[in-house]
A and B are shown apart, each in its own frame.
Chain A
Amino acid sequence: MTGDRAAIDAGELAALQVRARRVRSHVIRMATRGGCFLGASLSCTDLLVYLYGRALRVSPARVADPDRDYLFLSKGHDVPALYGTLVEHGYFPAARLGKHLSVEDHLYWHPNRALPGIEFHSGSLGHLLSVAIGVALDVKLRGGPSRVFVVVGDGELNEGSMWEAMLVASARKLDNLVMVVDRNRFQANMATEDLLPLEPLAEKLRAFGLAAIEVDGHDFAALDAAFAELPRPGRPSAIIARTVRNKGLPSLEGRAERWFVDLSAHEVEQLVAELEGGVRAEISSPVKVVR
């Protein structure tokens, strides 16, 4: 997808890493006074930072440009990572993040179009691959250059509508469509493989007609190489990005019960310090079971 662009260089790699850390810091600061879905937000942070930094041909000046690239955040509850990424790219001021969960603004647990740069609302799993297909179909009809990226959760692949949409995307040969799976191996309360096993996921996606590539979703250089292999003419693509729930916070990484969290102010500061390389935080907030 990066076409004839040079491979990612050390300077750009470092810039992406700095940006990802800043986004994670924003996300952690949204995980208080009502909380947020921290685990999923941190697992997809590097994906969003990569996509906005290297793959998407879009900018704050181009949010209404019909030839822009589109990104649809299908699972939706990871939106703090998108809020943070959009702030870092100048779509809206960082001060608005302080309005998270305030009725005075539009930043809540799921995305909506009132925020610059957000293409569509989501929150109900299994919808935006279909919506993205509509956009991709129109781009094809008009012969436009836009590519359409859809970030989906692995738990979201429980939904039958996802597989229905894959059948349609393949039938329509939508090679301008890229499904990015945040493969953090958890859904709300448990490991994906303990509930409805998805593996062998890549084989399943290929059987549905997608060109599927597995990659380390936290390795920018690997992501760059994977996206460079796309598109495959006549086929929609899938990037299965292997990620870690709560990535960046060793004290919370991979913990099933820390999906939605509502932290104390002190815990927020501890986790931000941990993110910056400090000691592991001691999190004692009650575990929230929201699903």
Chain B
Amino acid sequence: MSQVSPTIPSPTVTPATTYEVTLRALAEADPRIIVLTAENRAAIRNLPAVLGGRFIDFGICEQTMVGAAAGLALRGRIPVVHALATFLTLRAFEFIRTDVGIAGLPVKLIGSVPGFLSDGNGPTHQAIEDLALMRAIPGMQVFCPADERELCEGLPAVLASPSPCYVRLNTRASSPAMLANAGARLAGAREPFTLGQAEVLTDGADLAVLGAGFLVPNILEACTALRAAAGVEARVVNLRTVAPLDEGAIVDAARACGLVVTVEDHLLVGGIYQAVCEVLVRHRVFVPVVPIGLDARWFTPGRLPEVLDHEGFTPVRLADRFHQAWTASKVGALGAGADTKGTGHA
């Protein structure tokens, strides 16, 4: 059950659109929306011409931009703030926490290239503690869309909420598996997007795989392969928001499967793994939880496909790791043999 979930029905599923087009439409419909950036324009390149004075580029001044966003919100604006995820959440952290968080202002923080999406940049650019930092701020919502379609679906709810929100920007196209799944399961009757409500993508009962963000398509593909190869049926839960967390969906998945695997391109400290464990312990659901994430280290930089392979997050590698976790749970070996490091396994 989500604790704080303003329910704003999104428009019915529309053909694929882009973040920029969606934001533009929302901004054109609502003069309160104002778009800020710290010279990070990749996803919003065409907005200055459209929004005029409601597009403000602060230069490389994340702190001032976030403080000013708080000031704009005091005047009734809904600032949508853009910067690289790592600089937004780290350089400006205290401004987010102190100016936006303490006042509970509806500032929307859009962090680009979070997690593995920083691919070849190296550790300086790896936002892999952003979820921990943002969900530690009281009242902050944290949205990790699985692809650009989900981002566009969630954006109206994000902007309509009176709460501050951090969004892990993901402008990747929907994978065939995500589209096929959506088509098969939903057949035009998709539940409205609700902030704080997870989406159960497959309803297996052998293991529950919980994740959020751009790794969700890989999880889904991995679980499809796992079913085909080993007959293991996974329940894939796309958490969508890490704050608020859909506690009901997490508890249900754990009870139904008796084994939980969490997947995240984030440090294990303070991310999805720990958030899920907290929920399960609070609800007294004691099942093995196997973390797949970054265990106290930065990831090896490179081209994204190679990074995913090297770190063990391609569909093939994930299927293997899910199978290992499931096998270990069957022989009671979890805790001793479970792979939590992400590398170095067969």
Residue A130 is within 8 A (CB to CB) of chain B in the complex: yes
B109 → chain A, closest Cβ, in Å? Answer: 14
Report how far A165 CA is from B61 CA in the complex, Å. 8
Interface string of B142-166 (1 = CB under 8 A from A): 0000000000000000000000000
Give the secondary structure class of A's interface: helix
Interface string of B64-107 (1 = CB under 8 A from A): 11111111111111010000000000000011001100110000
Q: Which of A113-144 contact B (CB under 8 A)?
A: 113, 119-121, 124, 126-139, 141
B76 contacts across to A, CB distance below 8 A: 138
Report how far A152 CA is from B75 CA in the complex, Å. 22
Residue B255 is within 8 A (CB to CB) of chain A in the complex: no
Report how far A131 CA is from B92 CA in the complex, Å. 13
B61 contacts across to A, CB distance below 8 A: 164-165, 167-168
B77 contacts across to A, CB distance below 8 A: 138
- For B, the interface residue count at a CB cutoff of 8 angstroms equals 29
A230 → chain B, closest Cβ, in Å? Answer: 20
Listed residue (B64, B67, B76) with the most chain A CB atoms within 10 angstroms of its CB: B64
Contact status B59-A130, CB under 8 Å = no
A165 contacts across to B, CB distance below 8 A: 61, 63-64, 67
Pick from B50-58, B112-120, B171-179, B226-234 the stretch touching chain A: B50-58
Report how far A134 CA is from B54 CA in the complex, Å. 12
Contact status B74-A120, CB under 8 Å = yes
Residue A161 is within 8 A (CB to CB) of chain B in the complex: yes
Contact status B72-A130, CB under 8 Å = no
A181 → chain B, closest Cβ, in Å? Answer: 18
Report how far A124 CA is from B66 CA in the complex, Å. 15
Contact status A164-B64, CB under 8 Å = yes
B70 contacts across to A, CB distance below 8 A: 120, 130-131, 134
Contact status A133-B102, CB under 8 Å = no
Listed residue (B53, B70, B71) with the most chain A CB atoms within 10 angstroms of its CB: B71
Contact status A134-B71, CB under 8 Å = yes
Residue A3 is within 8 A (CB to CB) of chain B in the complex: no
Contact status B53-A121, CB under 8 Å = no
Contact status B74-A168, CB under 8 Å = no
- Provided the pairs A121-B102, A127-B95, A168-B68 are in contact, do residues A134 and B59 lie with their beta carbons within 8 angstroms? no
Interface string of A148-176 (1 = CB under 8 A from B): 00000000000001001101100110000
B58 contacts across to A, CB distance below 8 A: 168
Contact of B72 among A113, A127, A128, A137 (CB under 8 A): A137
Report how far A120 CA is from B68 CA in the complex, Å. 12
Report how far A134 CA is from B67 CA in the complex, Å. 7
Report how far A47 CA is from B319 CA in the complex, Å. 67
Contact status A134-B74, CB under 8 Å = yes
Closest residue of chain B to A168 (Cβ to Cβ) is B64
Contact status A130-B71, CB under 8 Å = yes
Report how far A284 CA is from B123 CA in the complex, Å. 54
- Provided the pairs A130-B71, A131-B70, A131-B99 are in contact, do residues A137 and B56 lie with their beta carbons within 8 angstroms? yes
- Provided the pairs A135-B72, A135-B74, A137-B72 are in contact, do residues A130 and B103 lie with their beta carbons within 8 angstroms? no
B73 contacts across to A, CB distance below 8 A: 134
Contact of A164 among B53, B56, B63 (CB under 8 A): B63
A161 → chain B, closest Cβ, in Å? Answer: 5
Contact status A135-B71, CB under 8 Å = yes
Contact of A134 among B63, B68, B98 (CB under 8 A): B68
- Provided the pairs A133-B64, A165-B64 are in contact, do residues A66 and B102 lie with their beta carbons within 8 angstroms? no
A161 contacts across to B, CB distance below 8 A: 63-64, 67, 95
- Provided the pairs A131-B99, A132-B71, A168-B59 are in contact, do residues A124 and B64 lie with their beta carbons within 8 angstroms? no
Given contacts A124-B98, A130-B99, A133-B71, 14 further A-B pairs with CB under 8 A are: A121-B102, A128-B67, A129-B67, A130-B95, A133-B64, A134-B68, A134-B71, A134-B72, A139-B75, A141-B54, A161-B95, A167-B59, A167-B61, A171-B59
B residues lining the A interface (CB < 8 Å): 34, 53-54, 56, 58-59, 61, 63-77, 79, 94-95, 98-99, 102-103
A-B contact pairs, 11 of them (CB 8 A): A124-B94, A130-B68, A131-B70, A133-B68, A138-B71, A139-B75, A141-B34, A161-B63, A161-B95, A167-B61, A167-B64
In the complex, the 8 A-B pairs of residues with the closest C-beta atoms, listed nearest first: A134-B71, A130-B67, A134-B68, A138-B75, A134-B72, A131-B71, A135-B71, A130-B64
